[in-house]
Amino acid sequence: MASPKVAVVGAGVIGLSTALCITETCPSCSVTILSDQFSPNTTSDVAAGMLIPHTYPDTPIHRQRQWFKETFTYLFAISNSAEASEAGIHLVSGWQVFKSTPKEELPFWSDIVLGFRPMSEAELQKFPHHQFGQAFTTLKCDCPAYLLWLEKRLKASGAQMYTRKVADLWELHSEYNVVVNCTGMGAHQLLGDKELFPVRGQVLKVHAPWVKHFIRDGDGLTYIYPGIHRVTLGGTREKGSWSRSPDPDTTRDIFDRCCSLEPSLQGAQDIEMKVGLRPSRQCVRVQREVLSQGGVKLPVVHNYGHGAGGFSVHRGTANEAAHLVAECISALQGSSSRAKL
Amino acid sequence: MRVAVIGAGVIGLSSALCLHEQFHGLVPSLELEVYADHFSPHTTSDGAAGLWQPYLSDHGNLQETLWNKETFDYLLRHLHSPAAKEMGLFLISGYNLFTEPVPDPSWKNIVLGFRNLTPKELELFPGYSCGWFNTALMLECRSYLPWLTNRLTQRGVKFFHKKVESFQELFSQGVDVVLNCSGMRAGDLQPDPELQPGRGQIIKVLAPWVKHFIVTHNLKSGIYNSPYIIPGSEFTVLGGVYQHGNWSEENNAKDHKSIWDSCCRLLPTLQKAKIVTEWSGLRPARPSVRLERESIRLGNLQGEVIHNYGHGGFGITIHWGCAMAAARLLGSILQEKKQLASPPGPRL
């Protein structure tokens, strides 16, 4: 197979980063990205893109740690280069605060982020409703800059991108040798995966350029994440809600909760409401599968179900998915050479 | 009781507010006036990035360290007030970088979360072998000075846009006490060979992805003669020039290149930053701050002067502590003039 044809379905952070990894691990592959939406209309565009991992209940911790470490290392190098501002990657310091001391004081990622330590008494005085906190420095991927930067790198490597709604992965079998499923929430309809469910998140994007630190309540519900031009205020975690329309009462509630953590936000301007459906699963599905119909086989690599933690692990899962694609191609080349005998 | 403040930079305006807050209720006849030839945005204070950070060492000048602490604590108390945004006050964290180990600074317990940098953090700054991380404050004078002016105007303080030529000029008009906050030009009012310019130059850029201050130190070249990057609420300030004895307020091309090249080496992503403007100013440098009373007598004219100048590159850092000290000096003057009741003594 001279030039294996790989289709990546989905153009959010998972689809684009997976496609990029495939061009890196398999330079002879021809990669095409197919998606009904591209930036700025993907779920990723709504996310703040903070590198603070979400814990998946059914994925082994060492695997999550590996994914996060690879992602952090990759982005750390970009943040330190001249491309950082174009890629939308920057360092940000801040605090995760808890109303009561958490059972686990050292999360699995504490040695991967920078300068992780408990907050001092003096620092905690800024948060009168909270008793315990952690200070650290991490990275933020500012969307849509990051997605546009990924698209630019992909085009430079020869990858093609088309707006196309794929209703069934099988429809791609005649044009492509391997299909990579990075459809996020779309996998619900595409595959009928009952383990995939939306967790609705509403956020506000505001103009408050004096806010230089992130603040996150340990319960994960209230957070303030300063980006390049806007600060993301969040949020909600509505399991099973499919509504993509912003709710004004929710906006008021998010704003109040964030102002309670950071009173200066009262002066924030240009408040924009956004909604994203986190494609949630008990474990991220990074897995090979072979679809077959009437003797014809189509290798598929799945990479979806990242829920609240997409940005934090994207590069790690993209690497893993790219290796699975390489395995699929080897298997195809193996069977085609066997066919010649 | 007429008190005239000379100077409308951070020292003059904050001292004026402090005096008014302390004595307005106690001295009904108090009339406060501010005289200056330059007002915001044309003062030296306006050129400063606004980072609260003293020099590395206080050289045993404990008084200045206490004034720095007083200022930090005062500002921290205002952080959550509704006025903070209007004052240009916000928290900021960042890095101080060194090529050799240095002792901890006098201010390590004043700022928040002071610690040494980890090896991984130092990977961000090749060429620097150690450093500190801490959370401090920004006080942007382009907001703070107008805020102070508004508070003063609300309190009925009068402003005069003129260059005062001598203390006598004010005494002859009936002023009782002069608060001399004339910064770099104090020498015009009374010669002071200890007051020398510490010329600085800065480049203001648009780089909103920079969220931390980065201040490098070169112990041989001295303070602020090494690149620094300080992100404000709108612009990021690039600097690293301190030229003792240089009175030029013109932007210098060689300094520009040195600042730009060294800051881009420090933070490669700055190469994509858009330059907005450039500025030069004179830090009013002195071996120590001049904060003391002086009685001036010329012929039949007499008056009290409280000097409050010579804050070098740490005016914003120390301003409130000095304002309070100046207020205490005014208090003793007022007591002597029997404008203020002495503290009640024991009954005999």
Cross-chain Cβ contact B207/A85 below 8 Å? yes
Cross-chain Cβ contact A212/B93 below 8 Å? yes
What string of DSSP letters covers B181-226? --GGGHHHHS--TT-EEEEEEEEEEE-TT--EEEEE--TTT-TT-S
Q: Tell me the pLDDT of chain A averaged across its residues.
A: 96
Cross-chain Cβ contact B84/A263 below 8 Å? yes
* Residue at B253 is within a domain: no
Domain of residue B315 covers 1-50+140-194+286-347
* Residue at B159 is within a domain: yes
A17 φ, ψ (degrees, to nearest 5): -70, -35
Mean of pLDDT values over B189-211: 98
Cross-chain Cβ contact A212/B124 below 8 Å? no
Mean of pLDDT values over B50-66: 93
Q: Which residues does chain B have within 8 Å of residue A135's beta carbon, measured at their own beta carbons?
A: 113
* Residue at B246 is within a domain: no
Cross-chain Cβ contact A84/B269 below 8 Å? yes
Residue B312 counted as an annotated binding residue? yes
B194-to-A207, B68, B189, B200, B309 alpha-carbon distances in Å: 46, 21, 14, 18, 11
Residue B348 has pLDDT above 70, yes or no: no
H, E, C per residue of A161-220:
EEECCCCCHHHHCCCCCEEEECCHHHHHHHHCCCCCEEEEEEEEEEECCCCCEEEEECCC
Residue A341 has pLDDT above 60, yes or no: no
The tokens of B97 are what?
Answer: 């970088």
Residue A338 has pLDDT above 80, yes or no: no
Residue A18 counted as an annotated binding residue? no
Say which residues have a Cβ less than 8 Å from residue B345's Cβ, sequence separation at least 6: none
Residue B343 has pLDDT above 60, yes or no: no
Residue B217 counted as an annotated binding residue? yes
For chain A, percent of residues with pLDDT exceeding 90: 95
Q: How confident is the model at residue B299 (pLDDT cuts 50, 70, 90)?
A: confident
How far is Cα B285 from Cα A241, in angstroms, rounded to an integer?
63
What are the domain boundaries of chain A? 5-339
A143-to-A54, A80, A150, A227, B313 alpha-carbon distances in Å: 19, 18, 11, 9, 38
B292 φ, ψ (degrees, to nearest 5): -160, 165
Q: Which of B114, B123, B133, B211 to mutate to test the interface with A (most CBs of A within 10 A)?
A: B211
Neighbour tally for B132: CB within 10 Å? 19
Residue A20 has pLDDT above 70, yes or no: yes
β-bridge pairing A213-217 and A223-226: antiparallel
- Select from B120, B135, B208 the Cβ nearest to the Cβ of A114: B120
CATH number for position B15:
3.40.50.720
Mean of pLDDT values over A283-296: 95
Q: Tell me the pLDDT of chain B averaged across its residues.
A: 95
Residue of A nearest to B84 (CA): A264
Cross-chain Cβ contact B115/A115 below 8 Å? yes
Question: What pLDDT, on the 0 to 100 scale, is given for residue A78?
Answer: 96
Residue of B nearest to A117 (CA): B113
Residue of B nearest to A120 (CA): B113
For chain A, percent of residues with pLDDT exceeding 70: 98
Residue of A nearest to B126 (CA): A80
Å between A9 CA and nearest CA of chain B: 31
ipTM over 0.90: yes
Say which residues have a Cβ less than 8 Å from residue A308's Cβ, sequence separation at least 6: A54, A199, A201, A220, A237, A278, A280
Q: What's the whole-model pTM score?
A: 0.95
Contact B65, B109 (CB under 8 A): no
Task: Report which secondary-structure segment, H or E, holds B88.
Answer: none
Residue A183 counted as an annotated binding residue? yes
For chain B, percent of residues with pLDDT exceeding 70: 98
Cross-chain Cβ contact B212/A135 below 8 Å? no
**Residues of A at the B interface, defined by Cβ within 8 angstroms:** 79-86, 88, 90-93, 114-115, 117, 119-120, 122-123, 126, 135, 137, 142, 209-213, 226, 228-229, 263-264, 266-267
Residue B267 has pLDDT above 60, yes or no: yes
Question: What pLDDT, on the 0 to 100 scale, is given for residue B130?
Answer: 97
Neighbour tally for B300: CB within 10 Å? 6
Burial class (CB in 10 A: 0-12, 13-18, 19+), A66: middle
Residue B346 has pLDDT above 60, yes or no: no
What tens digit of pLDDT does each residue of B157-172 get? Answer: 999 999 999 999 999 9
- Select from B84, B85, B211 the Cβ nearest to the Cβ of A90: B211
Residue B315 counted as an annotated binding residue? yes
- Select from A79, A117, A264 the Cβ nearest to the Cβ of B85: A264
Q: Which residues does chain A have within 8 Å of residue B120's beta carbon, measured at their own beta carbons?
A: 114
Residue A93 has pLDDT above 90, yes or no: yes
What tens digit of pLDDT does each residue of B225-239 get? Answer: 999 999 999 999 999
Q: Which residues does chain B have within 8 Å of residue A83's beta carbon, measured at their own beta carbons?
A: 269
Cross-chain Cβ contact B211/A264 below 8 Å? no
Burial class (CB in 10 A: 0-12, 13-18, 19+), B38: middle
Residue A57 has pLDDT above 90, yes or no: yes
Please state which of the four CATH numbers 3.40.50.720, 3.40.50.740, 3.90.950.10, 3.30.450.20 is assigned to the domain occupying A5-339.
3.40.50.720
Residue B345 has pLDDT above 50, yes or no: no
Neighbour tally for A100: CB within 10 Å? 9
Q: Which residue has the tokens 């009012």?
A: B189
Residue A31 has pLDDT above 90, yes or no: yes
Q: Reduced to 3 states, what is the DSSP secondary structure of residue A319?
A: helix
Q: How confident is the model at residue A169 (pLDDT cuts 50, 70, 90)?
A: very high
Residue A186 has pLDDT above 80, yes or no: yes
What tens digit of pLDDT does each residue of A126-155 get? Answer: 999 999 999 999 999 999 999 999 999 999
Domain count, chain B: 1
* Residue at B111 is within a domain: no
β-bridge pairing B177-180 and A114-118: unpaired
What tens digit of pLDDT does each residue of B116-129 get? Answer: 999 999 999 999 99
* Residue at B250 is within a domain: no
B300 φ, ψ (degrees, to nearest 5): -95, 10
What tens digit of pLDDT does each residue of A207-239 get? Answer: 999 999 999 999 999 999 999 999 999 999 999
Say which residues have a Cβ less than 8 Å from residue B73's Cβ, sequence separation at least 6: B110
How far is Cα B189 from Cα B169, in angstroms, rounded to an integer?
10
Q: Which of A210, A225, A232 to mutate to test the interface with B (most CBs of B within 10 A)?
A: A210
Q: How many CB pairs under 8 A join A and B?
A: 93
Question: What pLDDT, on the 0 to 100 scale, is given for residue B298?
Answer: 83
Q: How confident is the model at residue A339 (pLDDT cuts 50, 70, 90)?
A: low
- Select from A85, A93, A114 the Cβ nearest to the Cβ of B272: A85
Question: What pLDDT, on the 0 to 100 scale, is given for residue B344?
Answer: 43
